[in-house]
Amino acid sequence: MATREEVVTGLAEILEEVAGVNPDDVSEEKSFTEDLDVDSLSMVEVVVAAEEKFGAKIPDDEVQNLKTVGDAVSFIVANS
Amino acid sequence: MTKPDVVVTGLGATTPLGGDVASTWDAMLAGRSGVSKLTQEWADQLTVKIAAQLAVEPSEVIDRVRLRKLDRSEAVALIAAAEAWADAGLADAGLDKERLGVVVGSGIGGAQTLLAQDDILEASGARRVSPHTVPMLMPNGPAAFVGLEYGAQAGVHAPTSACATGAEAVAWGLDMIRSGRADVVIAGGTEAVIHPLPIAGFASMRAMSTRNDDPEKASRPWDKGRDGFVLGEGAGILILERADHAAARGARIYARLAGAGMTSDGYDIVQPHPEGTGAARAIAKALRDADLAKADVVHVNAHATSTPVGDIAEIAALRSALGDHPVLTATKSMTGHLLGAAGALESIATILAIRDSVVPPTINLDDPDDALTMDVAAHKARPLQIAAALNNSFGFGGHNVALLFTRP
């Protein structure tokens, strides 16, 4: 089971690869679209990569609830 | 009704000869070949192991994150458009975006994306297919990305007519301005299909040169030893502008786009008509459209791809439509055949020939075909005062496009 810190670090790696986000900018309170400038198609890539990395299934109708990095961390920690 | 004059105010390109217009043009005038051996492992199984690959990789110009959302054909279109946009001085021109149009086509489109994503589908399953796949492979993708980059709102169009696409895009751009739909049009073509499947397909048609041991000699239009075209990649973009709009903002003018002619052969899906009648009709239409006489056209940048039938059919078309006097060249001898980008790149070469009063050379024309009865600037660039010049482009499907440019 991954800790919250480990999930944040993992998401930061994915965000860097997919959307060119500086890992130092990634923290739990940041919004994917507003703060980190991740577009809707790139968000799909982030979700698929996160599923593989953490072994969590993130349903499509759940993705719209994942506004911030912290939302994603909570879902992944609870479901992986 | 009089047609408004349309002029060319900006040029951009990335080609096998250089990453911009200036380096490409310098290499053309020097008679350099952009063709080389394919060193990729996948080339081992192909009968064709040569191509004219980009001189400057898109990754040297566009950042990694942006590039992973772009097909290579889209990336090179954006690179060429950026050069043309800056060259025309449009960045600070305060353009009305509702009067800005885009016409950018590709012969084949995002084939590299299609094939790469199919590999992922087969190997890893549907869920791993990139959400960027569709905007990367759709044939209007290059035009749409260029339109988005510059905020064009007068209409974004993507003609596709195989190897006539780039020229057809320029002709559509002319129509957009003449019909009053736009003041400025970003027009051109793009292609990036150096990949085993398209190469194998063209090779199976026996359309490509297999002179694998001598790549720089492989593209040899009108030479007796020609054995097919050499695939090239890249993009060419022109900024077309209504002449009074260009004058009002004090823009530098390269040339007038005096007229265009488009016809279809109605003869065969891939073979040109042996007497080039469809091509001749396109040239005659362009002359009428431009209100020029045959004698005015002293230079032709020919389609001449280095195929046995096509090169000679074009000579028949030129003789019947213009007569024997123009000085010809085939810049594909140096660039290879950029398919959907060819007509745009060769329009740029035609315009620069007018500006610099010089015909770029046709290299490798060592042993001219007996049917070549016209004057070609073989081996070396030739000084020539050019008041009007023709650029021909023909495509699989029987598409013929003739563009006429004149000195401003």
B54-66: pLDDT as tens digits: 999 999 999 999 9
Residue A2's pLDDT is what?
A: 84
* B390 membership: H or E segment, kind and range: strand B388-395
- Cβ–Cβ gap B65/A45 under 8 Å: no
The domains of chain B are located at: 6-248, 260-406
Closest by alpha carbon to B330, among B198, B387, B312?
B312
User: What is the residue type of B294?
Assistant: K
Inter-chain CB pairs, A–B, below 8 Å:
20
Residue of chain A whose alpha carbon sits nearest to that of B64: A20
Given CA atoms B45, B51, B57, B59 in this order, what sign does their dihedral have? negative
ipTM for the whole complex: 0.89
- Mean pLDDT to the nearest integer, A28-46: 94
Identify the architecture of domain B6-248 in CATH.
3-Layer(aba) Sandwich (3.40)
Distance from C-alpha of B304 to C-alpha of B374, rounded to nearest angstrom? 13
Chain B residue numbers touching A20 (CB-CB < 8 A): 63-66
Q: What is the mean pLDDT of residues B210-233?
A: 98
Per-residue model confidence as pLDDT tens digits over B109-126: 999 999 999 999 999 999
**CATH superfamily of the A4-79 domain:** ACP-like (1.10.1200.10)
Give the pLDDT band of residue B203 (cuts 50, 70, 90).
very high
Residue from the list A19, A20, A45 with its beta carbon closest to the beta carbon of B131? A45
Adjacent-strand bridge partners of B406: B256, B388
Nearest to B128 among A18, A41, A48 (CB): A48
How close, in Å, is residue A27 to chain B by CA atoms? 20
CB contact under 8 A, A41 and B65: no
Confidence tier at B1 by pLDDT (50, 70, 90): low
| Domain range summary for chain A, segments of one domain joined by + | 4-79
Partner B contacted by A2 (CB < 8 A): no
DSSP state of A66: -
Residues B114-141, mean pLDDT to the nearest whole number: 96
Q: What is the mean pLDDT of residues A25-42?
A: 95
Catalytic positions of A, written as ranges? 39
Q: Which of residues 51-80 of A touch B (CB under 8 A)?
A: none
User: Which residues of chain A are within 8 Å of residue B127 when distances are taken between CB atoms?
Assistant: 48
Secondary structure of residue B222 in the 3-state scheme: coil
d(CA B70, CA B133): 9
Q: Which of B151, B154, B159 is nearest to B190 (CA)?
A: B159
Please state, in angstroms and rounded to a whole number, the distance separating the CA atoms of residues B240 and B352: 15
Query: Does B128 contact A41 at a Cβ distance shorter than 8 Å?
Result: no
To the question of pTM greater than 0.80 for the whole model, the response is: yes
Buried b (16+ CB within 10 A) or exposed e, B308-333: eebbbbbbbbbebbbeeebbbbbbbb
B131/A44 Cβ within 8 A: yes
Residue B127 carries which DSSP code?
G
Tens of pLDDT along B246-284? 999 999 999 999 999 999 999 999 998 888 999 999 999
Note whether B6-248 and B260-406 share their fold.
Answer: yes
In this complex, do A45 and B64 lie within 8 Å of one another by their Cβ atoms? no
Cα maximum dimension of chain A: 29
* CATH number belonging to domain B260-406: 3.40.47.10
